[in-house]
Amino acid sequence: MEISPSKSSILGALSQALDLVEGQPEGHALRAARLAMRIGREIGLPDSTAEDLFFASVIKDSGCSNNSVRIQKIFGGDELLSKRAVKFIDWTSPVESVKFAFKHTERGQSMVAKLRRMASNLGPPKQVMIEVTEARCTRGAEIARMLGFSPVVADAVRNIDEHWDGNGAPFEIRQDEIPLLARIICLTQTFEVFATTFGVDAAYTMMETRCGTWFDPDLVQACRSFRTDTAFWNSFGDESSDAIADALPHLGESAMDADIDKICEAFALIIDAKSSFTSEHSARVTQYALQLGHWFGIGKTRLQTLRRAGLLHDIGKLGVSTGILEKPGKLDDDEFAHVKLHPKYSFDILKRVPSFDSIAELASAHHERLDGRGYWRGLAGGEISLDVRILTTADVFDALTAERPYRAAMSADAALVIMERDRGTAFDPDCLDAVRDCLFAERAMSLAA
């Protein structure tokens, strides 16, 4: 019997998706968690609090998709580049904030476009930061509660961008008003960005510069205490959540099915928040897919896999620019090529989760076509399982019946007319028949009521 993965290993693996949406290199959250756990050990955190620190560290960016649309509207272009670049400046400085805005607004566009966009965003730079940070942190805390974590974890995620001197965001609280775990993560997430990009020495220099302003001096001292620990820094790039959690046995306990389902449901919300046009898309696709699965008489275990794959099928879209996802017109070749990578991103993320192999295969195949003209693998005919055919049909049906930036939502009947044109080429004929039967049954029940 297959052993269920631990909650820590699932969230550690899925944190790679949160790295994508925040514009960070793969493994950012896990490296920051590794550093946080070391600081926790230096200051003598008890095991239960250290466990809270680990989980708060790996889900710290779970609200980041919630501000993607807003950031893209502020700066234009690829918001992932803006999100990454802002980590290297002291955004509490008005001078640095203005320089950042001038450099990153409408990058690569004309001066007229740049100035027009900047004029539309007039207002104190700090206020803009507070706005986008509040959207991120509030949503992140909600996700933490949804996952069943303690208020300690939720409070840490809500306050990770508060600064020791009170000039952080979004609540501008200071010193001991900021929860301890939030103070630790504020330091470690920034330290990791500098260490990974410029090296550990540069990260220590940044930390000293911001000691007493951004960072708690006592935590800075704790971080200083292992600067010469060569073994630690040599292993700093280890992205295994198991390696981080070795000293905390409870983190390795197998997750219950209900816990895994909650994680999938939470990440569906994170995924769908990336664009203003995909609200509840993953939940609806899952609902349609399960209806079709029942129509085909699929068993309980396969239905469970289909449900989880449906909720997570678009997780790779967290690595696609919101500017592309929200574009009102036709995508150019480069933009479409980028979009076509998202199923591969989904596979790369999900395959990291222990025992999620079948979910990764199914979720990442939702743009394959029977005629082999789909993506990302170009599978065809018998290479495409019934479960994939079901998920593909459900995904396209929902996409057509939902509003998109380039068109209004279609009726179910109009969507099926369009899908029928690709009967046997893109879509399995039996799946299309199942959609019609399910719709007919729903209408009959509605009339009877």
Tell me the sheet residues that pair with 407: 404
Active site residue 317: yes
Distance of CA 51 to the CA centre of its chain: 21
Task: Report the alpha-carbon distance of residue 356 to residue 115 in Å, rounded.
Answer: 47
- Whether omega for the bond prior to residue 214 falls within 30 degrees of 0, making it cis, is no
Task: Report the alpha-carbon distance of residue 400 to residue 109 in Å, rounded.
Answer: 33
Task: Report the alpha-carbon distance of residue 26 to residue 349 in Å, rounded.
Answer: 10
The residue from 317, 327, 344, 351 that is catalytic is 317
Tell me the sheet residues that pair with 423: 427
Please work out, in degrees rounded to the nearest 5, the angle formed at the alpha carbon of residue 183 by the alpha carbons of 178 and 186: 125
> Dihedrals φ, ψ of 291, to 5°?
-60, -45
Task: Report the alpha-carbon distance of residue 52 to residue 363 in Å, rounded.
Answer: 30
User: What are the residues whose beta carbons fall under 8 Å from the beta carbon of 179, sequence distance 6 or more?
Assistant: 152, 155, 156, 159
Catalytic residues: 317
